[in-house]
Amino acid sequence: MDWVTGLVPGGKENFNALLVIVDRYSKSVRCLPCHKEDTEMDKALLFWKKIISTCGVPKIIISDRDPKITSEFWTNLYDMLGTKLAFSTAYHPQKDGLVERMIQTMEDILRRFCAYGMEYKDHEGYTPDWVTLIPEVQLVYNTRTKENERLICRALHYNYLIGKNEVEVKLTEEVSTKHTVFPVILVEPYFHTEEDKLPSRKKNPTPPEIVDLEGSPGPVKKIIKARKIRLNGKDQRQYLVRFKNQTSDTDK
């Protein structure tokens, strides 16, 4: 975690600083507008309300050696919470490098968003400042295009990730259970008919049913007409045929 200071006052409360917190496991980021002049109590309450209340107590916090962090209040606070403060030193500056890179990325996104905001006006004619754009910045960063990072930010952060060998099934109330995720080996697609199973396959016409026509004048020459009827609960076809060496008067 680290602070960005020296910002132009923005928002209704004229925030001029930003607290940037990055989860090292999921790589998700939280940006909290604040004031450079905030007291130690204000900073602690902000962290409590926005981070601890929603994400829980962190096991370890990595930050630089700053009076805001090394103060007796913060140290005592995290002692009570059972959290260890790991301070970056001159010999290990890479400890807080993740936040530093995030701050650079966040500032770059904000510049572009604010530049767009200079042209964009809302329905009241106001241009959004950097404070109003923070939720969009978090959304852009936490849903960035790299597939592995997107899965980490959006799934691991909430401890919910369906692997490639599992599938989530939407069940009806009749068969609904507490568990809706099953191994793919136990799941098969449902097809109403064989034609649905292979829709690209060329459908063969239904062969006509051979009926012994007693008293027919001879072998069938050609089919004149065909129709589908339902007989005994089954779909059947009837054919009007013409016999060899016969006229239309003998069609059956």
Report the mean per-residue pLDDT for the chain. 72
CA distances from 225 to 26, 51, 66, 246 (A): 69, 76, 92, 16
Q: What is the pLDDT, as a whole number, of residue 19?
A: 87
pLDDT tens column, 111-151: 776 655 555 555 655 556 788 888 888 887 777 655 555 45
Q: Quick one: pLDDT band at residue 65, thresholds 50, 70, 90?
A: low
Q: Could you give the C-alpha distances from 216 to 30, 56, 137, 181, 220, in angstroms and in order?
A: 87, 88, 84, 63, 9
pLDDT higher for 211 or 99? 99
Average pLDDT of the segment spanning 188-197: 72
35 pLDDT more than 90: yes
Helix axes 97-117, 134-142, angle to 10 degrees: 120
pLDDT given for residue 32 in this prediction = 92
Residues shown for the chain? 252
Q: Where are the beta strands (DSSP E) in the chain?
A: 2-4, 17-22, 29-34, 60-63, 84-87, 166-168, 181-183, 220-231, 234-243
**3-state DSSP assignment of residue 16:** coil
- pLDDT of 29 reads 85
The per-residue pLDDT for 91 is 38
Does the structure show a pLDDT above 80 at 13?
yes
In sequence order, what are the beta bridge partners of 29?
22
- Position 53 scores a pLDDT of 79
* Residue 244: pLDDT over 80: no
Residues 185, 201 contacting (CB under 8 angstroms):
no
Q: pLDDT tens digits, residue range 69-118?
A: 666 667 777 776 776 666 554 434 455 576 777 778 877 777 776 655 55
- Mind listing the domains of the chain with CATH numbers? 2-158 (3.30.420.10), 205-252 (no CATH)
Sign of CA dihedral 184, 187, 191, 194: positive
Mean pLDDT of 29-48: 86
Q: Determine how many CB atoms are found less than 10 A away from the CB of residue 66.
A: 13
pLDDT of residue 24: 77
> What per-residue confidence (pLDDT) applies to 33?
93
